[in-house]
Amino acid sequence: MNRSLLLALLLLFATAKGLYAGPTAPYPAELQQLHKNVWTEILGETGNAGAAQSLCDRMNEQGAWTNIDYTSKQRGSWQPAEHLSNLLVMARAYQQPGSALFHDPKLLAKFHLALNYWLANDFQCPNWWYPQIGVPMSFAPTLILMEEELSAEQRTKGIQILDRAKIGMTGQNKVWLSGNVILKSLLTRDVATIRKAAQSIQEEMTVSPGEGIQADGSFHQHGPQIQFGNYGLAYVGDMIKWIRLLRNTPFSFDESRMSILRNYLLDGQQWITWKEQMDISACGRQLFMNAQRSKARSLAGNFKQMESLDPDNAELYHKAGQYKTLTGNKHFWRSDFQVQRTPDYYFSVKMSSKRVIGAESCNSENLRGYYLGDGATYLYQSGVEYENIFPFWDWKKIPGTTIQQDDKELPVLTAGGYRIPSDFVGGVSDGKTGIATMDYTRNGLSAQKAWFIFNDLIVCLGAGITSESEFPVTTSVNQSFLKGAVTVKAKAEQTVAAESAETLHPKWILHDQTGYYFPVGGNLRLETKTVTGSWNHVASMYKDEPIRAQIFKLWFEHGVHPNGQTYAYCLVPQATRAGMEKLEANPSFRIVQNESKLQAVVSSDQKWGGMVFYQAGKSALMGGIEAAQPCAVIVKKEKGGLSVSVSDPTQKLTQLQLTLKGGYQTENPAVTVTSSQGSSILTIRLPKGEEAGKTVTVNLAQR
């Protein structure tokens, strides 16, 4: 038998046994550019030969790695997925020209061993996300890179695994699924399905009343729940990727939609990072180790990519990636969330309502977040005040919240999360200053809470605090890492010891450049001590290992069965001892009213005033203001008149009527002004639909 005939017979035998697939079908003309784009994207700039060689060395005879628990049924951070990540590292090193392992036969043999181990076992996580999204997302790039090296059996089994991803669902889940379908269909040369999946991704580049980008620039997933740093961050990364991959192909995006992504990034995502930290309230359930920093860096990377993807706006993206260039106040009315940014500090308030979900737990993540949407407040200056603080927190004293201190373990939320049974939750913003408010009720506790943010002060008021529970009620002022000395001014000034627990009636407290001023005093408890915690109590994927940190914790004690109690405190960023003494001696604001029906604050120069009317009523502020409906109002004195900003926290009203002393007129077409007995009656038409709850600002000129 001659040599040529022998080789032909051996080839036929290998093909029949699935050991050799033969040359793959060529890519049709419609897919050639897409394949080139995808190949370049997957391969990246370098193939890490060192990492690939290490994986080969550590692999056992079965093609597995002993550090991976292949029996894991963990719903989040599923360990077997690491096997697929390892395969991709090996594939990149094998296919990268210039790599020390480029087309190395020993690496290829090890790759096949590891690939066959996965295909033989077909590991599946009990969480649907992994079989349909996570596994195909990791596996498809490997199969594309190694397509020419696959046997017919490997190819068939691999595509069967990828085929678990089907176009469907909404928001980021739909983007993930559709992207997986594109990669699988690239392997099968299915032009029609690629076209359908690409269109499916583009359909999610829209402002939606459901899941996805909201009219206020926030992002929802799992219902009306703010998801900036979880699904919303993945959405940005995926949209950038697919715009880039589909460019110059028959499936490219309608680039007029780019404005939607641009607005989401600049008017949404840009607001929620500070000094390389993402706001806790923006991270969703993913309160992982180093999550705040890693998410902020991912967002900065997205801004960097957008500079080249949307070059006409490159300068805007460049500035956004610097974290702290944006200043002002923004209320996200679709998400019950308000942010204040200045060059010196960042402050946020996260609330929930009948409309908006407060928090969720899923895949054994965010196990303690039962109160994360109950008026949680965070004041960032250095940026690290709360970095990785979660194992040490008292989760019934999340900063800003008013909570019953029962003796039970916190319930673990579901993926459906929770809402508080209140309509009156929202805020008003004039772009520079703002008010957030919630008529709070939960578990038999009720309170009217409001935050007035102006002139580099945050005045925090609570009224009507009532509870019939046998457990005491507290309002947390802050809970952060202890850094440096704590100075307390009560009857006399004192420095608190590093390990201390005291009940105080202070005038002010100073710690870590933050001042806490108490204009009407109060019964407060201060703890500065070492706390032992564990990441396992936050997310079960971590080992239950004790760790320690020094924590600063300050809260009001309202006692058992409070009935109509109040509190008042002012957060002072960039505070100094001299500044706190000056504020005590000559306060730069005055609390006009702090009652369950009305809370009002005015600046000492009478140029700024804020009011929350929980019911129709009158306020003496700014010469006298009357609201015919519940609302939130900011009034600012301007040259020759007033600027009035209003909102309807219930998001149910179609118009609002305010009466102000004096004669005024406006050119705003949404406002009708009539005069009566020396007063001006403003009838203001309010936004509807997806813009219900949005602020309306009216500039009034004196007649």
Residue 463 and residue 448 in contact, taking contact as beta carbons nearer than 8 Å: yes
pLDDT of 591 higher than 60: yes
pLDDT in tens, 183-194: 999 999 999 999
340 plus 464 within the same structural domain: yes
pLDDT in tens, 241-262: 999 999 999 999 988 889 999 9
Confidence label for 21 from pLDDT (cuts 50, 70 and 90): very low
The single residue listed with the structure tokens 């001023």 is 517
- The candidate with the shortest Cα–Cα distance to 662, out of 682, 686, 647, is 682
pLDDT of 171 higher than 90: no
- What's the pLDDT score for residue 215? 97
pLDDT in tens, 23-40: 467 899 999 999 999 999
CA–CA gap between residue 256 and residue 52 (Å, rounded):
42
Judge whether 596 lies within some domain: no
- Structure tokens belonging to residue 54: 């290490």
- At 693, which CATH number? 2.60.220.10
Please give, one letter per residue, the 3-state secondary structure of 377-428. Answer: EEEECCCCCCCCCHHHCCCCCCCCCEEECCCCCCCCCCCCCCCCCCCCEEEE
Which amino acid is present at 688?
K
320 plus 340 within the same structural domain: no
DSSP label at residue 540: T
Judge whether 180 lies within some domain: yes
- At 421, which CATH number? 2.70.98.10
pTM summary value: 0.90
Of 311, 328, 345, which closes a domain? 328
pLDDT in tens, 65-84: 999 999 999 888 899 999 99
368 plus 319 within the same structural domain: no
160 plus 209 within the same structural domain: yes
Q: How many domains does the chain have?
A: 3
Domain of 220?
A: 26-328
Residue 183 and residue 144 in contact, taking contact as beta carbons nearer than 8 Å: yes
Distances (CA, A) of 331 to 27, 260, 610: 50, 19, 15
Q: Euclidean distance between the first and final Cα of the chain, in Å?
A: 110
- At 256, which CATH number? 1.50.10.100
Confidence label for 491 from pLDDT (cuts 50, 70 and 90): confident
Judge whether 292 lies within some domain: yes
pLDDT of 10 higher than 50: no
248 plus 360 within the same structural domain: no
312 plus 354 within the same structural domain: no
Judge whether 235 lies within some domain: yes
pLDDT of 555 higher than 80: yes
Judge whether 186 lies within some domain: yes
- What's the pLDDT score for residue 18? 37
309 plus 421 within the same structural domain: no
pLDDT in tens, 508-542: 999 999 999 999 999 999 999 999 999 999 999 99
486 plus 400 within the same structural domain: yes
268 plus 391 within the same structural domain: no
